[in-house]
Amino acid sequence: MRIMSHVLSPSDVTEVGGIPTVTAPLAALTTAPGVTFFRRVGLFDAVLWDGRVTHGDLLALLDSWPSLGGRAGTLAALERARRGAQTYFETVSRLVLVGQGLPEPQLQVPIYDEDGLIGYVDMYWDDLAVIGEADGAVKYVDREVLIAEKRREDRLRARGFGVVRWMPEDLRENPERIAARIRLAARRRAA
């Protein structure tokens, strides 16, 4: 199999439904030069999600494609990619909030209390003791899911964490406000 002028190795190909296709890492790498920076990071976050692929794997793959265009932008996106972003919205949220001067959060951190696992939080700033939740409206269409999420948040707050939530429109329209709310939650926690 050949892509443009590059001969694929067997490790570059997998089967999906009996159809030969390139692997997810290679698909992300060869797609990256044609998309925006945030989408590049999102592609790499998705590939890194389950831990089977590492940054080192992606860099080695990039090195095996020396004529691939957009190398500088791809390397910059790889530097910002992280394991743990469950959705593209979480990737964008992390990038925007770091751009607002917040430190890099930990992603998908398990939080426990005396009753066991409360859940995995989207973002956690350990030094601030603040949890960030990048919420999509689709998640809460069911009343039972909304009630369970409120109980989960109560348990997180009972552990002493500040919890800040935002929706896509909040991030798009006023990321400064979200960053300010995270800083305020940290100050309240520290007081």
Decide if 123 contacts 94 (C-beta within 8 A): yes
Helix (H) / strand (E) containing 106: strand 106-113
Q: What is the pLDDT of residues 58-107, one digit of tens each?
A: 999 999 988 888 999 999 999 999 999 999 999 999 999 999 999 999 99
* Tens of pLDDT, residues 25-51: 999 999 999 999 999 999 999 999 989
Q: What is the pLDDT of residues 151-162, one digit of tens each?
A: 999 999 999 999
Tokens of 160: 């002493």
158 in Cβ contact with 119 (< 8 Å): no
Q: Are 121 and 155 in contact (CB under 8 A)?
A: no
Torsion from C-alpha of 181, 182, 183, 185, nearest 10 degrees: 80
